[in-house]
Amino acid sequence: MTPVPPDNRPPGVPPQPPRADAWSQPAPARETRGVAFFVAIFLGILLVASAGLNVLLLLLSVGSLAGAGLGDAEAAYDEVHVAGERTAPLRVLKIAIHGAIGEAQNPILGAAGGMVTQVRRALQRAAADDVHGVLLDIDSPGGGVTDSDEIYDLIRKFRREQPKKRVIALFGDMAASGGYYVAVAAERIVARVTTITGSIGVIMSSYNVTEAAKKLGIEEVVIKSDRTPWKDILSPMRPMTVEERRMLTTIVDELFDRFVTVVDEGRDNLDRQQVLAAATGAVYTASQALERGLIDEIGNQDTVVKWYEQELGGEIALFERRRRVGFADLLFGSHTAVPTVDQSVGRLLTGSLGPRFLYFWEGGR
């Protein structure tokens, strides 16, 4: 009898090699990536981002150049009907001058630019053959001396070059100081019954914290030449001298005389003495302004439309141009919405490194 193997395998079958458990097998060696691999990935990401940015800047530059070549491309604006007959052949362009008057934004890469730039562009459009008049819609407490004067000059130049196109100013809540300065460039001024206007004058304001700084142990260190003793004039860290106050007051008086001259030239119904009588820095209601000859009529937008229809001899279409939001606006933070008075004043008062001479009503903040 053939003996049975101890592992119960049939006779003649060779023994099987022992089977190792899976968990007992050594793990295959993992492939390791060197530092060079991760550096290459990082550089690749940078390359893709750089290429995308270059394409973006190229598109913006092309758009900006195209806009400049087309005179601020018409495609970037929509014409919106405001009042009158939509299809009337006589068209009047409404230009908004809202908020503090200042050129706080730079019109680069197609961005909207500040108020001076926007008014300039609008007047360029108004010079087209299909525009028969301009309505200046003013709601402003004033602003920078130079900015106000530049807009005034732009309107006066437009009237000289386009004598057949009638220009009217219509006041909103307020048209004070620089807001009124701009308005006298128009041939006629209409104020709403609730308008506050006037504030003819110049102001420069600053803070002085000398006493507070002493209590806190703060001292300003100023390095200046003996040949420039006025270099730190209006420093908030020391009292103003009599000579410094006299110097600044002289400048304010000269700018005030300029304001009076502008009103005198713009208001044919007033002589210089009458302008000086009203130019005390005081603000007036519409009825008080009418009594002093600072405005021509109390009314509203319908009043203006009727006046244009009478003067132009037919129905008019009052429209305004609204700038579309472009990619440059989104990228650089510009927008088409009219800023609030608070936002405009903030830009005006923080747009320089120090105090400014202003045609501005402080109560209009």
For 213-270, how does the pLDDT look when each residue is reduced to its tens digit (9 = 90+)? 888 899 889 899 999 999 989 888 899 999 999 999 999 999 999 999 999 999 999 9
pLDDT of residue 107: 42
Dihedrals phi, psi of 174, to nearest 5 degrees: -150, 150
User: E strand or H helix at 216, and its extent?
Assistant: helix 210-216
CA distance 365 to 355: 16
Q: What is the pTM of this model?
A: 0.74
Burial 298-321 (b: 16+ CB within 10 A, else e): bbebeebbebbbeebeeebbbbbb
Q: Kindly indicate whether the domain formed by 76-206+262-364 is annotated with CATH number 3.10.590.10.
A: no
pLDDT of residue 295: 98
CA distance 169 to 157: 16
pLDDT of residue 353: 47
Dihedrals phi, psi of 319, to nearest 5 degrees: -135, 165
pLDDT of residue 313: 93
Contact 111, 286 (CB under 8 A): no
pLDDT of residue 67: 45
For the annotated catalytic residues, the residue numbers are 177, 231
- What residue ranges of the chain have pLDDT lower than 70? 1-39, 56-75, 104-113, 325-354, 365
CA distance 212 to 150: 39
pLDDT of residue 109: 39
- Please state the domain extents for the chain: 35-69, 76-206+262-364
Q: pLDDT, tens digit, for every residue of 291-317?
A: 999 999 999 999 999 999 999 999 999
Contact 232, 224 (CB under 8 A): yes
pLDDT of residue 71: 46
Packing angle, helices 242-266 and 145-161, rounded to 10: 20
Q: Which of 166, 320, 174 is nearest to 182 (CA)?
A: 174
pLDDT of residue 3: 61
